[in-house]
Amino acid sequence: MNERIKKLRQESVSIKPYISSERAILVTRFYKNTASQVLSAPLKRALAFKHLLENKEIYIGQGELIVGERGPSPKATPTYPEITCHSLQDLDILNSREKTSFKVNGETRRIFEEEIIPFWEGQTVREKIFNSMTQEWIDAYEAGVFTEFMEQRAPGHTVLDDKIYSKGFSDFKEDIEKNLASLDYFIDPEAFRKSEQLKAMAVAADALIAYAERHAKEARQLAKREKDTLRKKELQKIADACSHVPKNAPRDFWEALQYYWFVHLGVIIELNTWDSFNPGRLDQHLYPFYKKGIEEGTLSKEKARELLQAFWVKFNNQPAPPKVGVTAEESATYTDFCLINLGGVKPDGSDAVNELTFLILDVVEEMRIVQPSSAVQVSKKNPDRFVKRAIQIVKTGFGQPSFFNTEAIIQEMLRQGKSLEDARQGGASGCIEAGIFGKENYNLTGYFNLPKVLEITLNNGLDPRTGKKIGLETGDPRRFSSFEELFQAFRNQVRYFLDIKVRGNNVIERIFAEYLPTPFLSLLINDCIAKGKDYHDGGARYNNSYIQGVGLGTVTDCLASLRFNVFDRRLISMEQVIEALKKNFEGYEALRQKFLNKTPKYGNDDDYADSLLKDVFEAFYAGVNGRPNTKGGCYRINLLPTTVHIYFGKMTGATPDGRKASEPLSEGISPVQGADRFGPTAVIKSAAKVDHLRTGGTLLNQKFTPQLLADEEGIDKLCHLIRAYFKMDGHHLQFNVVTADTLREAQRHPEKYRDMIVRVAGYSDYFVDLSVDLQNEIIRRTEHQAF
């Protein structure tokens, strides 16, 4: 890493995130002054976007090569009051909370108090959403049965494909013009609606071109004043690049990166999309520019490395938009889940690993920052040296990159009826979510707390935490004469809450489609232009809504315990179990230890428990998969938690697997922390019993001690372990390589471990930024020793 990058990286890592009022002020004034009765929603949004880009501050930092910031400077974090308007109390919490805090200065607070809050009170999408939900929905939401992604952030969950590397925004505009001209007002009743949407998209396209031009102008002025001749030249190059892209297709490696960056900014300025808008298959997209540059002698490997590193810093400069309440708990992190995919296969199905793949892996290793996150797609066609290079980076202990199974992703996509060519150009985004890049809206809608639903089942519809009846009366479990009866009750309860969740989501999807279309993002995702439809309204080629099952390991172990101890062995009555749970095992420690130690557990390649995992999977899958959403697509499942297993744990009382009230649930499809006793092969065998191909992604976390990867042999064998899991159709695997002792030491002396990054759940984060509960949970995750 050269001096320039060191400095940029250091700046990015050390500046504390803070709330910027810039966007809130601009958007508020726009809405104040745009009271027009004849503006359609898409046009209004496009004009708001234009207003933002025309008026926001332009920032070009010292030594920067890739330019443009979401706010007025790095780590400035905007708010999106049209969706959720932070109250003064919210701001104070953001400012003072211990973890993932955002500084709020007095001036910002004053502006919110005087201008922002009074204007938006009662007018936000968030309020509209909560006011539109049924009482059942509110009850379940408040009880921690599920969360709702869209309650303070807009639908996102999409990734860019290769389209911007061969087309400029002027080309997109041409496509729009053609579509506008071909609208048939005689037979198409949607023609007017489409024309409003298309016009809005054209406005948004022009807005980004003009925004880039503002950077060009600023760079030219800086160049004029610059004394250093080298920097002067760089600034001129920056100016040239910003005049050329995004209006036109990029001409070289540098412009390709700058182009993407403007697009990225456009997406995250337009709305606070959940999450992970990112360039996707970066080694594929950039390779032609890299190759051409090297061949023509206009680019060196070192220059490419420097540009990539400068690009990396830009991601790290943009903390995730500030979340509050439950949403902050379900995803307590600054990271905004940009997951850059490397490797995999080309559209023709051949091995996609190239020289640039390895260069980008070098960048990942050298930069060691939480954003962007990186993933390697491992295809059976990829060489082992690629996988081993990735393992060497994992070994350095910051949780990146994670490993994805290309063949599994392709099969998941094909099962959903997508084309093979599209599937091969897909990948993973966010944490582990599989989708078609550039052509799909695969929207995550919320986490679903499976152990909580079992808890409610064991209480015949009552939430024991509040004493409120929120579920179905599925029968008094003390009267159940067989395990099957219990499981049927659980299945019915799952279905009941899923119905509530899906109904709510079908309303929320429409709220975004009607009130908050997203013309800029729609430019980028096929086939929004061709259909003349917004991204939020089914414009994408593929539209899937996901519900994420959480606590699979915990609920499996609970069911295994009930089956084993109550029904099969008859060691204890259901009445006693319920009593012990009610008392949070106080006075029942021996029983709790039996549940923990003498009861079959998922994660040990033991079918007694693992078969129940499959049953839970089927119950959840049946309640979700294939139900229509409002965008012409349907609901599907995936299995990941982000950090919600901590929050859900807090909302869930003691459970029959021996877990005490408030303790975290298991995460992803990983076994309950510490329940797996036979090492990684047994975990993998158990996890492979889930039918990964019927999901849109699963998350499996493994914690390894450094000794296990100490030598070449260890790296070799981990490579085999990954390959074996992927042969069994495993979707994803990630590793934390750090000792529990080190983590405990970091807890005691956070100041010494500020830069220690660990894998959380499909993403990496600074260990010291995590809540104490989450820190403890990571320490407890089974640490596989060297054998």
Partner 1 sequence: MLTGVVFNIQKYSIHDGPGIRTTVFLKGCPLRCQWCHNPEGQSPDPEIALWPSRCLQECRECVSVCDRAALSKSDSLVFLDKNNCDLCGTCADVCPSRAIEIAGRRLSVGEVMEEVEKDLMFHDESGGGVTFSGGEPLMQPEFLQALLEESKKKGIHTTVDTCGFSRPDILDKICDSVDLFLYDLKVMDDRKHRQFTGGSNKAVLENLRRLDKQGKDVIVRIPVIPGVNDEEKDIEEMIGFLRSLENLRLLSLLPYHDLGKEKYRRFTLPYMVGNIQPPAGELIEKIKKRLESSGFEVTTGG
Residues 601-640 close enough to bind partner 1 by CB under 8 A:
605
Residues 707-726 close enough to bind partner 1 by CB under 8 A:
708, 710-711, 713-714, 716-717, 720-721, 723-724
- What whole-number distance in Å separates Cα of residue 235 and Cα of residue 30? 32
**Shortest distance, position 216 Cβ to partner 1, whole Å:** 53
Candidate list 96, 233, 681, 772; residue touching partner 1; CB under 8 A: 681
Amino acid at position 441, single letter: N
> Using an 8 Å Cβ cutoff, are 283 and 356 in contact?
yes
**Shortest distance, position 611 Cβ to partner 1, whole Å:** 15
| CA–CA–CA angle 646, 784, 650 (5° rounding) | 10
x/- track of binding to partner 1 for residues 719-758 (CB under 8 A):
-xx-xx--xx------------------------------
Comparing CB distances to partner 1, the nearer of 111 and 724 is 724
Candidate list 538, 641, 680, 730; residue touching partner 1; CB under 8 A: 680
Spatial CA neighbour of 585 closest among 672, 656, 651, 649 = 656
Q: Residue 786 interacts with partner 1 (CB under 8 A)? A: yes
Candidate list 678, 691, 752, 755; residue touching partner 1; CB under 8 A: 678
Comparing CB distances to partner 1, the nearer of 619 and 672 is 672
Q: Residue 572 interacts with partner 1 (CB under 8 A)? A: no
> Using an 8 Å Cβ cutoff, are 202 and 171 in contact?
no
**Shortest distance, position 437 Cβ to partner 1, whole Å:** 29
Comparing CB distances to partner 1, the nearer of 88 and 786 is 786
**Shortest distance, position 494 Cβ to partner 1, whole Å:** 30
**Shortest distance, position 581 Cβ to partner 1, whole Å:** 17
Sequential DSSP letters for 47-70: HHHHHHHHHSPP---TT-SS---S
Number of residues that bind partner 1 (CB under 8 A): 32
Catalytic residue check, 85: no
Tokens coding 607? 């079918």
Report residue 502 CA to chain centroid gap.
Answer: 20
Piece of 19-27, 78-86, 96-104, 584-592 that binds partner 1 (CB under 8 A): 584-592
Catalytic residue check, 431: yes
In the set 431, 528, 558, 719, the catalytic residue is 431
Tokens coding 169? 């925004």
Q: Residue 183 interacts with partner 1 (CB under 8 A)? A: no
Tokens coding 306? 């420097």
Q: Residue 591 interacts with partner 1 (CB under 8 A)? A: yes
Comparing CB distances to partner 1, the nearer of 134 and 681 is 681
Tokens coding 615? 């049953």
Piece of 280-288, 422-430, 497-505, 595-603 that binds partner 1 (CB under 8 A): 595-603
In sequence order, the β-bridge partners of residue 734 are: 701
Query: What stretch of H or E contains 468?
Result: strand 468-469
In the block, tokens 């930092």 appear at 61
Contacts (Cβ under 8 Å, ≥6 apart) of 410: 345, 420, 423, 424, 426
Candidate list 183, 682, 693, 756; residue touching partner 1; CB under 8 A: 682
Comparing CB distances to partner 1, the nearer of 348 and 713 is 713
Piece of 196-204, 297-305, 447-455, 705-713 that binds partner 1 (CB under 8 A): 705-713
> Using an 8 Å Cβ cutoff, are 371 and 338 in contact?
yes
How many Cβ atoms from other residues are within 10 Å of residue 583's Cβ?
12
In 3-state terms, what secondary structure has residue 680?
Answer: helix
Comparing CB distances to partner 1, the nearer of 169 and 726 is 726
Spatial CA neighbour of 153 closest among 314, 31, 68, 271 = 271
**Eight-state DSSP code of residue 664:** P
Comparing CB distances to partner 1, the nearer of 107 and 713 is 713
Comparing CB distances to partner 1, the nearer of 720 and 752 is 720
> Using an 8 Å Cβ cutoff, are 139 and 319 in contact?
no
In the block, tokens 């990054």 appear at 757
In order of 150, 284, 432, 526, 608, the CA distances from 636 in angstroms are: 17, 28, 14, 21, 27
Candidate list 98, 225, 228, 787; residue touching partner 1; CB under 8 A: 787
In the set 82, 196, 407, 433, the catalytic residue is 433
Q: Residue 571 interacts with partner 1 (CB under 8 A)? A: no
Tokens coding 474? 């599925």
Tokens coding 344? 């995999």
According to DSSP, the β-strands at 468-469 and 462-463 are: antiparallel
Q: Residue 570 interacts with partner 1 (CB under 8 A)? A: no
**Eight-state DSSP code of residue 103:** B
**Shortest distance, position 602 Cβ to partner 1, whole Å:** 15
Q: Residue 693 interacts with partner 1 (CB under 8 A)? A: no
- What whole-number distance in Å separates Cα of residue 523 and Cα of residue 68? 20
Q: Residue 113 interacts with partner 1 (CB under 8 A)? A: no
Candidate list 7, 231, 346, 594; residue touching partner 1; CB under 8 A: 594
Comparing CB distances to partner 1, the nearer of 461 and 679 is 679
**Shortest distance, position 712 Cβ to partner 1, whole Å:** 10
Q: Residue 690 interacts with partner 1 (CB under 8 A)? A: no
Comparing CB distances to partner 1, the nearer of 610 and 777 is 610
Comparing CB distances to partner 1, the nearer of 168 and 658 is 658
**Shortest distance, position 678 Cβ to partner 1, whole Å:** 5
In order of 137, 160, 216, 589, the CA distances from 595 in angstroms are: 33, 47, 66, 10
**Shortest distance, position 687 Cβ to partner 1, whole Å:** 13
Piece of 19-27, 485-493, 503-511, 673-681 that binds partner 1 (CB under 8 A): 673-681
**Shortest distance, position 459 Cβ to partner 1, whole Å:** 25
**Shortest distance, position 584 Cβ to partner 1, whole Å:** 17
- What whole-number distance in Å separates Cα of residue 159 and Cα of residue 442? 10
DSSP strands (E only) in 504-633? 542-550
Would you put residue 144 in left (φ > 0), alpha (ψ -120 to 50) or beta?
left
How many Cβ atoms from other residues are within 10 Å of residue 165's Cβ?
19
Report residue 124 CA to chain centroid gap.
Answer: 24
**Shortest distance, position 711 Cβ to partner 1, whole Å:** 7
Candidate list 305, 685, 759, 781; residue touching partner 1; CB under 8 A: 685
Spatial CA neighbour of 666 closest among 656, 675, 654 = 675
Contacts (Cβ under 8 Å, ≥6 apart) of 720: none
Catalytic positions, written as ranges: 431, 433
Contact footprint for partner 1 (CB under 8 A):
589-594, 596-598, 605, 678-682, 685, 708, 710-711, 713-714, 716-717, 720-721, 723-724, 727-728, 784, 786-787
